[in-house]
Amino acid sequence: MAKVSLIGSGSWGCALAHLLACNGHDVIIWSFDESEAAMINQYHEHRDKLPGVVLQENVRATTSMKEACDGRDSLVMSTPSVFVRATARALAPFVPDGMIIVSVSKGIEEATLKTLSEQLKEEIPQAEIAALSGPSHAEEVGREIPTAVVVGAERKDTALYLQKMFMNGEFFRVYTSPDILGIELGGSLKNVIALAAGMADGLGCGDNTKAALITRGISEITRLGMKLGGQAETFAGLAGIGDLIVTCASNHSRNHNAGYLIGQGATYQEAMDQVKMVVEGVYSAKAARALAEREGVAMPIVETVNKILFEGMSAAEGVKALMMRDRRQENTQLHWNQ
């Protein structure tokens, strides 16, 4: 049995708390909100963000970072990406040397263009940082629907330890990888493509359009990800194409749902207000565009999403702009014999 604390009490944090408790671990959920912590302790359920998922008795909530860290074996950082650095900075004094922190959120910091694990290393240098990602909606993990993800760590022993900690033979399968960077980039960049897929659905486009966005989207993600040091195999796996498919196609996806509303004419702020959750793709869009420009990588879908979100282009104009681009060869690595 491991002693694990979830730093963040949203739907994903609560779903993972349920999973870890099912696996027999002692689980604490940290929340910044006293009323939220009280609700979880009283009802063993987050009735606002993950209704219907009843947490086991060995799950408890606290607002004390010290309590969330004291005597724990590892932490799972499940706060929204925009709050990761500030939360990590506040957490740092309570984290002992060598503690494992698993980043399970998805995003890139706009100001620094750094991944979440890079931010965690800067703010909590005494910890060992890992990352978990893949096609894994909280609503389905909480309902114990079969799911597969990948966990990345610098040391193989750490990856194997986390694989054993999270793995549940009935509904949660975990693979291991040494490519933390690729895992995080795949999980972050796919949210921007999912916004585009939602916009297309909001406009009334069909399956052909969505398939094109997913396929060309993973091409963009892979180009940038490899330029930054990620591995092609990662983007062809669960944290890449797997996560992209589920986020572009599911009604559970807040990024898809926000994109849908934008496609119907809402601003990004109006869409986020209606979704009532943090829409990571809105925050990652500018960072993705800046990374692409810095690295000299063409990302037309990401570029178009930025224009729709922040520069007044309509979703319909965005689709037309993508369709009217100059003719291209699909893969420049393939060559004719004659």
87-136 pLDDT tens trace: 999 999 999 999 999 999 999 999 999 999 999 999 999 999 999 999 99
The amino acid present at 64, given as its one-letter code, is: S
- pTM for this entry: 0.94
190 assigned to active site: yes
Q: What residues form DSSP beta bridges with 26?
A: 3
Long-range residue pairs from 308-317, CB within 8 A, at least 24 positions apart, any chain: 308/199, 308/262, 309/195, 309/262, 309/268, 309/282, 309/285, 310/268, 310/285, 310/286, 315/199, 315/200, 315/202, 315/203, 315/262, 315/263, 316/203
Comparing 325 with 75, the larger pLDDT belongs to 75
pLDDT given at position 217: 96
Specify the pairing of strand 26-30 against strand 128-133. unpaired
**Residue 338 pLDDT > 90, yes or no?**
no
Q: 86 has which bridge partners? A: none
In the predicted model, is pLDDT for residue 275 greater than 90? Answer: no
Is residue 41 predicted with pLDDT exceeding 80? yes
What's the pLDDT at 181? 98
Nearest one of 59, 57, 36 to 48, comparing CA atoms: 36
Helix (H, G, I), strand (E, B) or coil at 275: helix
State whether CATH 3.40.50.720 applies to domain 3-178. yes
Q: What is the mean pLDDT of the chain?
A: 95
Does 269 have pLDDT greater than 80? yes
CATH of domain 181-323: 1.10.1040.10
CA distance 251 to 173: 23
Residues 6+ apart with CB under 8 A from 176: 150, 151, 152, 153, 156, 159, 160, 162, 163
Torsion from C-alpha of 170, 172, 177, 179, nearest 10 degrees: 170
Q: Give 57's DSSP letter.
A: T
The single residue of 66, 106, 156, 190 carrying the catalytic annotation is 190
Position 182 pLDDT exceeds 90: yes
The SS3 assignment for 88 reads helix
Mean pLDDT for the stretch of residues 61-66: 98
Q: What percent of the chain has pLDDT over 70?
A: 100
Q: Where are the chain's structural domains?
A: 3-178, 181-323
pLDDT in tens, 124-174: 999 999 999 999 999 999 999 999 999 999 999 999 999 999 999 999 999
Alpha helices in the chain (DSSP H): 11-22, 34-43, 65-69, 84-91, 116-123, 138-142, 156-166, 180-202, 207-228, 232-235, 243-249, 254-263, 268-275, 280-295, 300-310, 315-323
Residue with tokens 């931010």: 119
CA distance 240 to 225: 10
Using DSSP's 3-state secondary structure scheme, residue 60 falls into: strand
